[in-house]
Amino acid sequence: MRDTISGGPELSAHELFDRAAGLHSVRDPYPELNELRARGGVHPFDLSRRYPILAGAVETPACIVTSHRLVTRVLSDPQTFSSSAYSYKEAAGRNILQMDGDEHARYRALVQRGFSRRSLEAWSNQVFAPIVEGYVERIAPLGRADLVADLTFRFPIHVIARMFALPEDDLETLHDWSSGIFLAPVSMERAMQCSAELIAFLRPFMERRRREPGDDLMSLLATVELDGERLSDEDILAFIMVMIPAGGETTYRATSNLLYALLTHPEQLRAVRSRPGLIGAAVEEALRWEGPITAILRYAMCDTELEGFEIAAGTHVVVSLGAASRDGSRWERPDAFDLHRRSRPGLAFGWGTHRCLGMHLGKVEMEIALRTVLERLPGLRLDPDAADVHIAGDHFRSPRSLPVRFDAAA
């Protein structure tokens, strides 16, 4: 059974987020998702009992889509299946995740420039790699570490702070605010408090970037134009408030899952170590096998049907990226982690018009983290004294810790 999602101010927003995501109670949702998919690609669903981070206690009719074929179909039809169901608007402002149609296309075109492959290449060598190296260097002489607490939890939010040229002296508060905003469906009060504090923190930086733009992403957002139109202050703040959790939470959990996959499959860890050319394949396979987000949400705009299952206008549609990523009609032995399998485009970043804007960035960060760990931590293995290390979570999934040993650097 799931724990109730409660907690006073003594719990950090991050701790509450983990509870709402099922990290405290759901160990393995895949047998149930696999069973659902085996019975059909779409089913009625009680949204109020599951995925509270997606929809809180919404009691409108809902269904869950589980097969690869139907998940890609729903995500390729934004006119029928709208993104407007996300309820972060009050806390995060009107933002890209919940926009549809022309508004979404226009907004995405404006912000996309900051995510081009070219700007990423520059960022990865000059910014991402030194940040990751800094964390790994700190543990390298110790011979043991918790790769979640010491590395994966820390570096993605650090990368985002650097991309927006924000001060780096209190990254944990930034991380906590960002988790708090995504709590809106389960604790609007906490989300509003985090959002107000984050806005108060961000606003002076934004005003400065309008006056004196630099080469950071906030400056780009403050100055970018499309057909003579600029983003308003509120647009920019809303975008940053989505970007911090969208890029921080996901990359932290995805990198943790990648390291977990390799540490629990030592023969594949050896293969990547001896052939670094396999790093990209390991990242792709980890994202398929244990993606950090198992579900996203859509909303039926009109009466429709999927393979004979009738969906009334106003139905919430849970799009199970987790179930579809283990669809045996697309991947052989889908429950196995196998970085040698034939590569096919996966669903961890979604599909269609809202497909993750930070997809290349997320993958590059994961690759850099793995490469650095392999290079600087020889003999890396799970700590044999650690009990029951595992991935947990229903909506967001990751291990809570990754205790490891390695040969300490002299």
Sites of contact with ligand HEM (CB under 6 A): 83, 96-97, 108, 160, 242-243, 246-247, 250-251, 254, 291-293, 296, 348-350, 354, 356-358, 361-362
Angle between helices 233-263 and 188-211 (to 10 degrees): 110
Give backbone dihedrals phi and psi of 165, rounded to 5 degrees, phi first: 55, 45
What gap in Å lies between CA 347 and CA 344, rounded to an integer? 10
Shortest separation between residue 283's beta carbon and ligand HEM, angstroms: 9
Task: Locate all alpha helices (DSSP H) within 114-232, ordered by sequence.
Answer: 117-123, 129-139, 147, 155-163, 171-181, 188-211, 217-223
**CA-wise closest residue to 190 among 16, 368, 392, 41:** 16
Q: Which of residues 140 and 287 has its CB atom nearest to ligand HEM in the complex? A: 287
Q: Which of residues 161 and 243 has its CB atom nearest to ligand HEM in the complex? A: 243
Shortest separation between residue 400's beta carbon and ligand HEM, angstroms: 18
What gap in Å lies between CA 255 and CA 152, rounded to an integer? 6
Q: Which of residues 64 and 243 has its CB atom nearest to ligand HEM in the complex? A: 243
Task: Locate all alpha helices (DSSP H) within 40-147, ordered by sequence.
Answer: 52-55, 68-75, 89-92, 101-112, 117-123, 129-139, 147
What gap in Å lies between CA 145 and CA 402, rounded to an integer? 8
Q: Coil, strand or helix: which one is 376?
A: helix
Shortest separation between residue 325's beta carbon and ligand HEM, angstroms: 11
Shortest separation between residue 45's beta carbon and ligand HEM, angstroms: 17
Q: Which of residues 362 and 403 has its CB atom nearest to ligand HEM in the complex? A: 362
Shortest separation between residue 138's beta carbon and ligand HEM, angstroms: 23
Task: Go through the chain and tell me how many residues it has.
Answer: 410
What gap in Å lies between CA 303 and CA 176, rounded to an integer? 40
The residue sitting closest to ligand HEM, measured at its beta carbon, is: 358
Distances (CA, A) of 13 to 190, 251, 393: 8, 18, 16
Cα angle: 102, vertex 106, 109; to 5 degrees: 140
Q: Which of residues 203 and 355 has its CB atom nearest to ligand HEM in the complex? A: 355
What gap in Å lies between CA 226 and CA 210, rounded to an integer? 17
Shortest separation between residue 17's beta carbon and ligand HEM, angstroms: 16
Q: Say which residue the tokens 């940053």 belong to.
A: 240
Shortest separation between residue 356's beta carbon and ligand HEM, angstroms: 3
Shortest separation between residue 86's beta carbon and ligand HEM, angstroms: 7
Q: Which of residues 180 and 292 has its CB atom nearest to ligand HEM in the complex? A: 292
Residue 43, beta-bridge partner list:
64
Q: Which of residues 155 and 406 has its CB atom nearest to ligand HEM in the complex? A: 155
Q: Which of residues 67 and 250 has its CB atom nearest to ligand HEM in the complex? A: 250
Burial class (CB in 10 A: 0-12, 13-18, 19+), 120: middle
Give backbone dihedrals phi and psi of 230, rounded to 5 degrees, phi first: -115, 160
Shortest separation between residue 170's beta carbon and ligand HEM, angstroms: 19
First-last CA distance in the chain: 47
Q: Which of residues 143 and 350 has its CB atom nearest to ligand HEM in the complex? A: 350
Shortest separation between residue 369's beta carbon and ligand HEM, angstroms: 11
Q: Which of residues 140 and 346 has its CB atom nearest to ligand HEM in the complex? A: 346
Q: Which of residues 51 and 349 has its CB atom nearest to ligand HEM in the complex? A: 349
Shortest separation between residue 21's beta carbon and ligand HEM, angstroms: 14
Secondary structure percentages of the chain, helix, strand, coil, to 5 = 50, 10, 40
